[in-house]
Chains A and B, each alone.
Chain A
């Protein structure tokens, strides 16, 4: 007999064994917690349906139809994996083909707190896959030094929220290394810094942040945010191969949630191209990472309710970003909405909106709308009113079309 509310005894047992969940049913459904459930009368803000979203490749055929994949991959096999496994596979491949690749960070060796580095230390040795002391400035600085001596370090910052101690190293050192070295040609382009980012429903102030805008203000860096396992694998491999330092931000809510068919062999996706996920003619939505799923749900509802047609663009690489694809789309639709999780103030949306205003002014039929986090911090129980949801994107489409 399982009591509905845990007894004090059960609670103390839980405290003794922190791995055990209070409710055994939580094991199978980690996302169906009370605080992330939909409101009783909700029609728009329903839990995101990763199983059926058109943004993920549910069949091998659709995954292999991607024209960006090379010919031999498109003829190859796929398997259904989630995002952390895709990251793991990319790292595994990179370690396999290039002896200069190193994978390190806090708690990497046992597999990482998000399992992204599972079994890598055992298979490639602790010389190449290892734990570092708990110091972000130290491990990023260490990575820069190793990269400057020709290695290809893939450093992990455990949460994007904790990248700030390394901010000086990233902004003043990694980004400027090639520039200041001048004709000596020394650079740290082999560097990739991975970090889980974004909201998870209960991350509060320091397990929720998406600080990409702080890095898009730094020339010399590439900032990449994948939205799916296929992207995570292809973009991470390109990032590791790239000759510029890359900030690779992994939306952690997708680690397990986003599951799709992914080519088994290694492949690379371009670091300077946005992807049009859905074509439309009335309004363009530009986003990246997790909010794309929110946008997709909002678009489905809006198209049904208003009979409009919405184009959805995934930026993929936030900086330097693909202006051409975005501008072409907005010139066609005449309306644009930018959606991201992090704060609106001076966020990526500001840059995209300003560029659209500057380059497509005469084609605009409505102001460029930004749907983003409010200018506040993500207090634990307030997340659902701070992070953009389906309702806010839906309303933005309505307002933009009605303008």
Chain B
């Protein structure tokens, strides 16, 4: 925005008298441009200090570069460890736990998708094909690390200990929902698990993560005291922020501004992109023309890795290493792009066969997905078999259904929650609105069915009494 910049400079010297800061503050990484001499080897423009002169006029052409950034993996499609020296970095028990969580997530997804089709839920979004990314990365983080998600990361909640009951309460927006029935289904949040509540607006959480990471950086360094009680059993005080988003969201301005500010402030933040090939109906070819999201990292000066998202061990190793990097030297951002394929529809409001071939999806389901790949590895180790699989699936199915029925039975939250928590306290204006609404409810009782709400039509009275 050159116009704006010049306008600002103009403003700077016109409105107040020119500012000559009495003390200039300069951090060590800040550079000052020094005028170049005629035969200098390097250009000393302040905007690119390490740029060397060249006599060749050659455009940097990504289209002509050698190839895409490589995708890191530990396991091949048959569940075999490729590099025997590093192995899978896990115990059998731990791998089985991860597997169970992935299966639970996929079963919950199938049942909830069906429940929405039956009209029992208003909305749902599945994680099919991306279970490895959310569960793998969550397992590699510390429980006290702060997480921001987009919406297709239910596995993060599951891996961190969000219970089936909590999932179901949120989906039904019942009186036990910790979102107090205000959010659409799948917009989970948990203070105990250090995961911020999801909002539908795409990419807005990315700069939040950068800001949160900055808060953590100051706390890690002891510049600011630890805010909030440490999680039980927390042995380390150093924390990172983690942010999940899809490759479509990465086209938003918030992605750009977040990675840039994260880099300039050197915050301990891990940006995890789930590149699943589609943003609703838009294929990546309509989303970007560079080499995915990973190729952008270097442009911001951010350490970056591309990972096979169908390989949970690769995701775990990547995130573990990213966490170490993120905490190095007081903090720095890291970008991890997890490649995957969105096997399910975008949401229950979407029929993806309107824009992609059914056979393409079937092919992906059959050829490769994170669950079967881990299962193959476990079978290869001799720690898993068909019988265990059957038992796990039927058991999980029952558990999910039990939680589902339990949540469905519960009442909706008290209607006072329509008004509370907008500000810290109810405002005078709100009180007037509450009283007007309460009056309407009183005079037209048959027009509103509030039996299903906790406290019924009297819910608002509490707010009016409080004065």
Q: Is B22 an interface residue (CB 8 A)?
A: yes
Query: CA separation between A201 and B299, bound complex, in Å?
Result: 41
Is the beta-carbon distance between A182 and B182 smaller than 8 angstroms?
yes
* Size class of the contact patch on chain A: 35 or more
> Closest Cβ of chain B: how far from A87's Cβ, in Å?
12
Question: Across the two chains, which residue of chain B brings its CB closest to A221?
Answer: B423
Q: A18-B13, A185-B191 are contacts. A144–B207 as well, Cβ < 8 Å? A: yes
Query: CA separation between A182 and B414, bound complex, in Å?
Result: 12
Q: A141-B204, A149-B215 are contacts. A110–B24 as well, Cβ < 8 Å? A: yes
Q: Is A309 an interface residue (CB 8 A)?
A: no
Contact partner of A127 (CB less than 8 A), chosen from B211, B223, B227, B254, is: B223
Give the number of chain B interface residues (Cβ < 8 Å). Answer: 75
Q: Is B179 an interface residue (CB 8 A)?
A: yes
List A contacts of B210 (CB < 8 A).
Answer: 138, 141-142, 145
Q: Is A76 an interface residue (CB 8 A)?
A: no
Q: Is B7 an interface residue (CB 8 A)?
A: yes
Q: A142-B210, A178-B421, A186-B197 are contacts. A320–B427 as well, Cβ < 8 Å? A: yes
List B contacts of A150 (CB < 8 A).
Answer: 215, 227-228
Query: CA separation between A323 and B429, bound complex, in Å?
Result: 8
List B contacts of A109 (CB < 8 A).
Answer: 25
Is the beta-carbon distance between A158 and B228 smaller than 8 angstroms?
no
Q: Is A67 an interface residue (CB 8 A)?
A: no
Is the beta-carbon distance between A137 and B257 smaller than 8 angstroms?
yes
Q: Is B18 an interface residue (CB 8 A)?
A: yes
Query: CA separation between A100 and B228, bound complex, in Å?
Result: 13
Q: Is A350 an interface residue (CB 8 A)?
A: no
List A contacts of B241 (CB < 8 A).
Answer: 145, 149
Is the beta-carbon distance between B254 and A141 smaller than 8 angstroms?
yes
Query: CA separation between A18 and B197, bound complex, in Å?
Result: 49
List A contacts of B178 (CB < 8 A).
Answer: 182-184
Is the beta-carbon distance between A142 and B224 smaller than 8 angstroms?
no
Question: Across the two chains, which residue of chain B brings its CB closest to A138?
Answer: B257
Q: Is B234 an interface residue (CB 8 A)?
A: no
Q: A18-B13, A110-B24 are contacts. A145–B421 as well, Cβ < 8 Å? A: no
Q: Is B48 an interface residue (CB 8 A)?
A: no
Stretch among A34-42, A112-120, A283-291 lining the B interface: A112-120
Contacting residues of chain B (407-463) with chain A, CB-CB under 8 angstroms? 417, 421-424, 427-430
> Closest Cβ of chain B: how far from A154's Cβ, in Å?
13
Q: Is B187 an interface residue (CB 8 A)?
A: yes
Contacting residues of chain B (203-238) with chain A, CB-CB under 8 angstroms? 204, 206-216, 218, 221, 223-225, 227-228
Q: Is B146 an interface residue (CB 8 A)?
A: yes
Q: 29 A-B residue contacts at CB 8 Å?
A: A18-B9, A19-B13, A30-B17, A100-B227, A109-B25, A113-B11, A113-B12, A118-B21, A134-B5, A138-B261, A140-B207, A141-B207, A141-B208, A144-B208, A145-B212, A146-B212, A148-B196, A148-B208, A149-B227, A169-B207, A178-B424, A180-B197, A181-B196, A183-B178, A183-B180, A186-B197, A242-B424, A243-B424, A323-B429
Residues of A within 8 A of B (CB): 18-19, 27, 30, 84, 99-100, 102, 109-115, 118-119, 121-122, 126-128, 130, 132-135, 137-151, 153, 158-159, 162, 165, 168-169, 172-173, 176, 178-187, 189, 200, 202-203, 206-207, 219-220, 222, 242-244, 252, 255-256, 272, 320, 323-324
